[in-house]
Amino acid sequence: MGGDASAPRDVAEEAARRRTFAVISHPDAGKSTLTEALALHAAAIDEAGAVHGKAGRRGVRSDWMDMERARGISITSSVLRFEHGGMLLNLLDTPGHADFSEDTYRVLAAVDGAIMLLDSAKGLEAQTLKLFDVCRHRGVPVITFVNKWDRPGREPLELLDEIEQRIGLRPAPLNWPVGVAGDFRGLIDRASGSFTRFHRTPGGARRAVAEHVPAERAAREEGGAWETAVEELALLDEIGAVLDAEAFAAGTCSPVLFGAALPNFGVGALLETVCRLAPAPSAREDETGGERPLSAPFAGQVFKVQAGMDRAHRDSLAFVRVCSGRFERGMPLTHAQTGRPLVTKYAQTVFGRDRSTLDAAYPGDVIGLPNASGLTVGDTLYAKAPVVFPPIPSFAPEHFMVARTTDNSRAKQFRRGIEQLDKEGVVQVLRSDLRGDQAPVLAAVGPLQFDVVAARMADEFTAPVELTRLDYSTARVTDKESAEVLNGRRGVEVLTRTLDGSLIAVFVDRWRLRAIEREHPGVTLTPMLAAGVPD
């Protein structure tokens, strides 16, 4: 089919109305709740879910895995696609927990912008700082949303100062709260000076009712809270805390908005800001350092592989970010890493765990390709004009377990499950000459990843596993010559990564690593990407 031959103008126009962005935060900042609140305000869903773990309440739409609903945390990324105000939004929800930061990094490789969510009481937390470092490293512009203003928290000026001092990002508030955190009266829009009050709906299941109040009336009714807000706004004007579009695009300035995601206060303003300010897709750098123009024939990159999303579909789904050209369902593609052709007649669009047929897609969109065997995270697909995008690196694992099946009659299912989880990047699977294929070593950034392995192996693959901890905590990439030197040394073991055949040397601790480096200065021990912190 000729989808990649569509007029460049059509591709440019369609790309210009796309906004592909992620929501990032520390755990418990309200990220998944905000994700659904945005979909609710865009009328993509009729009724929102609610906070996890509350009896009688539904889980959020983007958290579809049983473990997510049970534990009240996001442990895998998901995609929500919806339209609003003539724009097509691809919202990628990300895991909040640090143990799953590698999944978040993959998502940030696929987006053009991000919403950084802050808890009004806690401000910048450790995981938020790490994720912002990744955004800075990848050149991803950030919009800041200060959440939970309906609960007790810190002073707004104090939060702005923390953003500037701790991460060097100049904050530019677009609205301002009337009333301290926990006594939320409403929001003043800085551009127009208008004031909006919000009225809750039961459980926050539907959009909050917005009441627009003239400034003179608001001043009478809100009294001291209004006066304080006006004084703070005057101070912001004096210090020049205004949005600089070029600085925002360069990643040095962040628009800031205030609100509360659970009752849906201020979420509409955030949605409008994303549509107005978040960057549209642009040319992406390929492996040679050149750029793939949006008007070039279709090309895309796999940033996620996921199985088990729906019990009715016992398949895996490869998520592909469209980087250039027009995609049409059924068009022939080439897998750049192998040169093999790929059939796309079953291409889908994804909304959480729900799927529907996708006929066409443009730069910024996310395509779901079911049962695309051989695809792994970071792979490139293209039509006609060859291209390879830079690989998405793996993080350095810090936790290691040996996996064994608890039922030898399920050995086939065990091997298939471990292979699938390896392709998805749930863990890195390493082969040990000491243990053989029946006892692979699983390597992870955080221990919760092993809980996901155990749960999915038992549930999806009906192959329960026994996991035994190994006393290693540091990993380096090595080569064959160095492996011959390292093998047999105390406190070190060389393993083979099954996905790409690379050799990984693991050490009991950093002191043992340094000792080996002193004793054998010629060995190759290349650091891997640290969890959430770019080199």
249-302 confidence digits (pLDDT tens): 999 999 999 999 999 999 999 999 999 999 999 999 999 999 999 999 999 999
Give the CATH number of the domain where residue 339 resides: 2.40.30.10
pLDDT at 453 over 90: yes
Encode pLDDT of 75-128 as tens digits.
Answer: 556 788 999 999 999 998 877 667 777 788 888 899 999 999 999 999 998 878
Rounded average pLDDT over 390-399: 88
Mean of pLDDT over the chain: 88
Rounded average pLDDT over 2-20: 77
The answer to whether residue 1 sits within a structural domain is no
pLDDT at 12 over 70: yes
- What is the distance between the alpha carbons of residues 37 and 59, in angstroms, rounded to a whole number? 13
What backbone phi and psi angles, to 5 degrees, belong to 109?
Answer: -75, -10
Instruction: Dig out the tokens for 108 from the structure.
Output: 């940030």
In total, how many domains does the chain have? 3
What backbone phi and psi angles, to 5 degrees, belong to 233?
Answer: -65, -40
pLDDT at 46 over 70: no
The answer to whether residue 349 sits within a structural domain is yes
- What is the distance between the alpha carbons of residues 217 and 202, in angstroms, rounded to a whole number? 27
Boundary-marking domain end, from 357, 382, 407: 382
Q: What is the pLDDT of residue 55?
A: 35
The answer to whether residue 79 sits within a structural domain is no
The answer to whether residue 3 sits within a structural domain is no
Give me the residue label for tokens 């200065």. 521
Q: What is the pLDDT of residue 343?
A: 87
Is position 97 annotated in a ligand binding site?
Answer: yes
User: Poorest-confidence range of 36-40, 370-374, 378-382?
Assistant: 370-374
Q: What is the pLDDT of residue 437?
A: 87
Give the CATH number of the domain where residue 106 resides: 3.40.50.300
User: Poorest-confidence range of 155-159, 171-175, 205-209, 217-221?
Assistant: 205-209
Share above pLDDT 70 across residues of the chain, in percent, rounded to a whole number: 89
Give the CATH number of the domain where residue 428 resides: 3.30.70.3280
174 with 55, same domain: the answer is yes
Boundary-marking domain end, from 224, 253, 277: 277
Q: What is the pLDDT of residue 434?
A: 86
188 with 289, same domain: the answer is no
The answer to whether residue 388 sits within a structural domain is no
Is position 93 annotated in a ligand binding site?
Answer: yes
pLDDT at 8 over 90: no
pLDDT at 312 over 60: no
**How much helix, strand and coil, in percent to the nearest 5, is found in the chain?**
30, 30, 40
- What is the distance between the alpha carbons of residues 215 and 197, in angstroms, rounded to a whole number? 12
36 with 174, same domain: the answer is yes
Is position 352 annotated in a ligand binding site?
Answer: no
pLDDT at 366 over 80: yes
Rounded average pLDDT over 198-208: 82
- What is the distance between the alpha carbons of residues 216 and 195, in angstroms, rounded to a whole number? 10
Confidence of residue 497 (pLDDT cuts 50, 70, 90): very high
Rounded average pLDDT over 402-418: 95
Specify the amino acid at residue 214: P
Specify whether the CB–CB gap between 431 and 502 falls below 8 A: no
> Pick the residue with more confidence: 28 or 297?
297
The answer to whether residue 13 sits within a structural domain is no
User: Poorest-confidence range of 54-68, 143-157, 184-198, 331-345?
Assistant: 54-68
161 with 262, same domain: the answer is yes
The answer to whether residue 534 sits within a structural domain is no
The answer to whether residue 481 sits within a structural domain is yes
Q: What is the pLDDT of residue 59?
A: 43
Confidence of residue 54 (pLDDT cuts 50, 70, 90): very low
Q: What is the pLDDT of residue 533?
A: 45
- What is the distance between the alpha carbons of residues 527 and 534, in angstroms, rounded to a whole number? 11
> Pick the residue with more confidence: 47 or 134?
134
Angle between helices 31-41 and 267-277 (to 10 degrees): 80
What are the Cα distances from residue 106, in Å, to 70, 486, 511? 25, 32, 30
pLDDT at 215 over 60: yes
Please give the model's pTM, rounded to 2 decimal places: 0.85
124 with 225, same domain: the answer is yes
322 with 357, same domain: the answer is yes
317 with 265, same domain: the answer is no
Is position 509 annotated in a ligand binding site?
Answer: no
228 with 353, same domain: the answer is no
Specify the amino acid at residue 298: F
Residue 319 is part of which domain span? 284-382
129 with 255, same domain: the answer is yes
66 with 173, same domain: the answer is yes
317 with 185, same domain: the answer is no
476 with 409, same domain: the answer is yes
Is position 95 annotated in a ligand binding site?
Answer: yes
